[in-house]
Each structure stands twice: as structure tokens, then as C-alpha cells.
Amino acid sequence: MHKELLLVKRQKAKDLYDDGYSINKIADKLVSNWSSVKKWIEMEDVTVDNRGWEKGNLREYNQEVKQRVIEIRKRLRKEQSYFFGPQVIRANYKKLYPDEKTPTIYFIAKTLREEGMTTGKDNTRKEDGSEYMNYPQRTLDKLGKVVEGIDFIGPRYLEDQSQGVHFLARKYIRPYQYGLMTRIEGQTTDEALEVLIEDWRDHPLPEVLRLDNDPSFGLYRRHDRHIGRFLKVVLNLGITPIYSARSQPWNNGNTEGYNSVFARKFWEKLNFSDEEEIDTEIKKFNLEYEKYNDLVGNNIDPEEIEDETLPEDFTLTQNLQSELKDDLEDPTIYWLRIVRNGTEKAKKKDKGSVDILGEEIEVPKPYVNQFTLNKLKLRNDELSIMVEKEDGKLDTIKQQELEVENVDFDG
């Protein structure tokens, strides 16, 4: 490769890594292999070939830069900040020294490691089965401009208390990176709706909501072809829900990642005496997370996009919880499902199947153990079972009628 072109690719790889891209994504963007990208992002000077350096000398950044990194880390810890990793330190450095070159994530992480200031978190990349199971990532990335994920956490237990503590996590996936955590009395529909309605008076009303199959989120386990109050409210607000595949929490990975941050930085770090103390500290955690994402989250300027919020006087009426409004344009529900081997009800071994609202839908055998994206259009009771092809386009492998028995559009 021509040397000048190689230097450009090296620098681009470092810039993308500092912006939060994974090595795999950088390799895809630059049409390079994983090992080369890893080597490039670890280079402190992209113009050299890593030969001839005297051991012990700093290559691109002097001792003053290293000391600044250490001081920023110490200040964040002194302030008892929940977030003090390399990305946060780099963002703080950029704000403190805007006229100077900002050190790379790799240099900062190396400095912290040498000074014994790392938390010991294992960042080893863990493979999942999403690629060979045809997980429809590219399709999901296109669904909705404002996307939010939600998840229950708990129960967690305080010392000498048998009654568990529960939380509702909310994580905006795009175009913002907001994260919110609230203690709730229990993992119920009423608790979830109360928190979300309050959120959506101040925060953007999502176009798409990512969630799991908890019954409190509107999916009955004992009533086939029925949906719950939570789901009716979501649809009436013009939100499209996407349910994760069962037992696959990584399908809602952004929210699960936020839950992990909450556990590591908050719940496992502090000792609480009672719920009141939790509520006080959790407000600080939410503020710290907002500040953290303002620094490293690449959030879009709110003035660049028109967000819809609920009016201050919004009331969750009984009608919104019992019937779907007649003026809804195209109410749709999505499910991610992995095709099972065989069918239980018909005892067919030569077929696959997916479960939608308690209905066992037969799928051709070649799709067993593959992901499907299942879309139900409620106005015409049309269920489409789709798979994502290699080019990112959806292929409908089956279409049939599926009527939700407790849905009537309110005229």
C-alpha cells in the first residue's frame, strides 16, 4: 500500500476508535483486517514504523501530558464521579486544553495502567451467535429516528431486608444517549407506565421502544392472541414496540449495557441503609451519567431535531389503556424470535416454529436456529415473518392472518 495512503488509514482508525467505534466496525469501514486495525490504534505516532525507539521514552506525548492525564483522573475520583474511564478523561483533557493535541484513548489507558489506576474491568471481546444466526442488525438500525430501550432490574436486596428493591432502566439508543434509572415499588405495568409518562413530559417520546417479553410490558402468557394495557398505551402514543427474542437479553444490548454500568458504578460500589438513601444517590447517578454522555456520547444538538414530548397536563385515561384509537395511522408490533426445531402442538419434526402471542407459527425447516423479525400490522391482522439477507434486505418467508382478540379500534 502507498505509504501516504497507509498513514491516512492509520490516523482514521485511531480517530474512529476515539469516537467509540469497535475494532471490528473500524475494520469494516476501512476494508482492513482486525489485527492491522488493532496495531494502528495502539500506535502513538502513525508516521513511524515502530522501529528504533529508545526504550522508556514517550513517543508522541511528553511527560507533561502524562501528568495531566493522571491529575484529571485523580480529580474525577476526588469528586467521587461515577465515570472516570479513558473516554471521560480524554473529553476532560480536550475541554481543559482546547488548543493542544488531545491524547488518544490508547495512550490514556496505557498511562492509567502503568500508574495502577485501572479498575480491573475485563474488556475482552466476547463473541455471540448473532452473525451466523442472521440477527437483523442492519434492519433494526434503520427502524426509528428516536429509539429507547427499557428494562426491569431486580430484585436487589439490602442487608437484613427480605423485601427486594426494584428499578426501571431507560436508555435512549439514538439519536441521543440519555440514560435514566428509577427505583420502583415493583415490576408492574402501573409502575412502568407512571415512570415513563413522567419521563416523556421532559424527554423525547420515542418512535421505537425496545423491550423484553415481561408480562408487565404487555404480553400475556396465559391468554393467546391478547395484549396488555402497557402495549395499548404505547401504541396509542404512536410508539412501535420491538420485543427481544426470549432469553436473549443482548437483543436489547444498549439497555443491558447501561444496566451493567449501573450495577458496577452504583449498586455494587455503595452500601445503602434504606430506600430513601437509594433515591437520593440515584439522582446523583443520573446526573453523572448525563454529564458523562455530554462528554463522550456524541449527542446531537437538541436544536437539530424536533422532538415530540407529552404535554404537562397529559392524563393516562382509561380509554388509552383499553382500546386503540381509531386515528392511529399504522399500529405495528415487532418481535425478534429464534426459530425452534419442530412444532409442539402439531408434533411436526419436519418444520420449524416461532411463538407470537401464544400462537405457534410454522416456519420452513431450513430456518431453524435462525433469527426472524416478525411484524404484526394490527389494522389488517397481517403477520409477516421475515429474515435479513446478506445484503441487509428483508425477505418475507411467510405471511398469514393473526387477529388480536382484545383489540378494537375506538371510533
Q: Where in the chain is the domain with CATH 3.30.420.10?
A: 130-411
Please state the rounded mean pLDDT for residues 313-337.
94
Neighbouring-strand partners of residue 179: 171
Tell me the three cell numbers of residue 112.
492509567
Comparing 81-95, 202-216, 372-386, which segment has the lowest mean pLDDT? Answer: 81-95
The band of 291, judged by pLDDT with boundaries at 50, 70 and 90, is confident
Q: What angle in degrees, to the nearest 10, is found between the helix axes of 3-18 and 23-30? A: 140
Return the axis-axis angle of helices 86-96 and 275-296, rounded to nearest 10°: 60
Global model pTM greater than 0.75: no
Q: How are beta strands 208-211 and 240-243 bridged, if at all?
A: parallel
Q: Which of 74, 82, 3 is nearest to 270 (CA)?
A: 82
Q: Given a cut of 80, is residue 129 above it in pLDDT?
A: no
What is the three-state SS of 38-102?
HHHHCCCCCCCCCCCCCCCCCCCCCHHHHHHHHHHHHHHHHCCCCCCCHHHHHHHHHHHCCCCCC
For 78-124, how does the pLDDT look when each residue is reduced to its tens digit (9 = 90+)? Answer: 655 667 778 778 888 888 888 888 888 888 888 888 887 775 554 44
**Which position has the grid cell 402442538?**
345
Work out the burial of residue 132: count CB atoms within 10 Å of its CB; fewer than 13 is exposed, 13-18 middle, 19 or more buried.
Answer: exposed
| pLDDT above 80: residue 318 | yes
> What integer is the mean pLDDT of 289-317?
75
Question: How many whole angstroms separate alpha carbon 223 and alpha carbon 221?
Answer: 6
**Distance between start and end Cα atoms, the chain:** 67
**Dihedral Cα 240, 219, 177, 247, nearest 10 deg:** -130
CATH 3.30.2020.30 fits 130-411, yes or no: no
